[in-house]
Structure 1
Amino acid sequence: MKLATKIEAILYIKGQPLSLEEIGSCLGCEFTEEKTQKDLDLIQEALIELMNDYAHRDSALEIVETTLGYSLQLRAAYKNILQELVPAELGTGTLRTLAAIALKNPILQTELIELRGSSAYQQVAELVKLGFIRKRPQADGRSYWLEITNKFHQYFEIDAEKELQTNTLLQQG
């Protein structure tokens, strides 16, 4: 097995930037004073080979050198796909605000602020930006109606039709 292929596997498995020394440790290289520079040179040559290989193929991945080390990562041109497919990182407060909106769907922003406090303003802005909720102006007031979107249903794998039936039953009961 080629050294470059082993390094590629290590970068993939580790999923974080690694220094030449860390890659060497993963390869099982024993660093003595005599071997250290020679081993590091071989690792660096294999990395350059790997970087060139990725640069010349039509791949969504690339090997990059950062201040933290070398890493296998998604090319910048594919970041929009990443944002669509990988779950957004939501804090506990934001998740609770989203849950309150989903349970009351729709809910007036003023009512939400009474339930969740003033920090909900920032959380609502984040949820709108992420596409989980939408804001529409209240027809006869100064507040906004907040409601969940299709992205919310897709992200949390909720059947919108079943949810509508459940909400109707809850409102009737």
Structure 2
Amino acid sequence: MKLATQIEAIFYIKGRPLSIEEIYAYLYQQGSESSKISAENRALVEDALIELMNDYAHRDSALEISETEAGYSLQLKNEYGYLLKELVPAELGKGALRTLAAVAIKNPILQTELIDLRGSSAYQQVSELVKLGFIRKREQADGRSYWLEVTNKFHQYFEISNMAIS
């Protein structure tokens, strides 16, 4: 098995930038600790990285091997960045996820009730979740609050059937 191919597998599995020391440690099953490696072993890893970078540079691929301050990584080429906005919603913080979970469990829930449960920071989280399309707001017919409910995008993204949660 080629060293470059093993490194490609490590990048795919780890999904984050890795230093040469980390790559070496994973290759030789020494865990993820950044340990000192010999100049000879460093050169082996660097040569395999160059081979892998050249391979990606010469194939018709949406991916590339990139070197950043954080290390080397397998990433999407810049020209395909427009797909990220459509296909991968922004990561939600822990607070927004908890707010989304509260809305999903109570579905629908009055915004005032949600604020009582989650605190005033939920106002900003609701705004973010509406903007991302995970929840929608409906005016309350006989009050000043809003009804909040999850959308089809929520069900699709989290792969939850559309049946009511009670």
TM-score, structure 2 normalization:
0.71
Superposition deviation, residue 138 in structure 1 = 4.3
CA–CA separation in structure 2 for the residues paired with 1:40 and 1:124: 49
Superposition deviation, residue 63 in structure 1 = 1.0
Q: 1:72 to 1:81 in 2, by over 3 A?
A: farther
CA–CA separation in structure 2 for the residues paired with 1:96 and 1:27: 38
Residue 65 (structure 1) aligns with:
67
Gaps of 5+ in 1: 29-34, 168-173
Gaps of 5+ in 2: 29-36
Structure 2 residue 3 is matched with structure 1 residue 3: yes
TM-score, structure 1 normalization:
0.69
Residue 123 (structure 1) aligns with:
125
CA–CA separation in structure 1 for the residues paired with 2:151 and 2:136: 7
CA–CA separation in structure 1 for the residues paired with 2:93 and 2:116: 21
Q: 1:50 to 1:98 in 2, by over 3 A?
A: same
Structure 2 residue 116 is matched with structure 1 residue 114: yes
- How large is the RMSD of aligned CA atoms in angstroms? 3.2
Superposition deviation, residue 141 in structure 1 = 5.2
Superposition deviation, residue 139 in structure 1 = 5.6
Deviation readout 1:19-58 (Å, 9 max, x if unpaired)? 2233233344xxxxxx933432332232122112112222
Superposition deviation, residue 89 in structure 1 = 4.1
Greater shift in the superposed pair: 70-79 or 139-148: 139-148
Matches within 5 A, 1:45-84: 45-76=47-78, 77=80, 78-80=83-85, 83=88
Structure 2 residue 141 is matched with structure 1 residue 148: no
Q: 1:27 to 1:157 in 2, by over 3 A?
A: closer
Equivalent residues, number: 156
Q: Could you say which structure has the larger radius of gyration?
A: 1
Structure 2 residue 104 is matched with structure 1 residue 98: no
CA–CA separation in structure 1 for the residues paired with 2:107 and 2:160: 14
Deviation readout 1:96-148 (Å, 9 max, x if unpaired)? 43233234433332232233321211221232233210123446654333221
Percent identical residues: 69
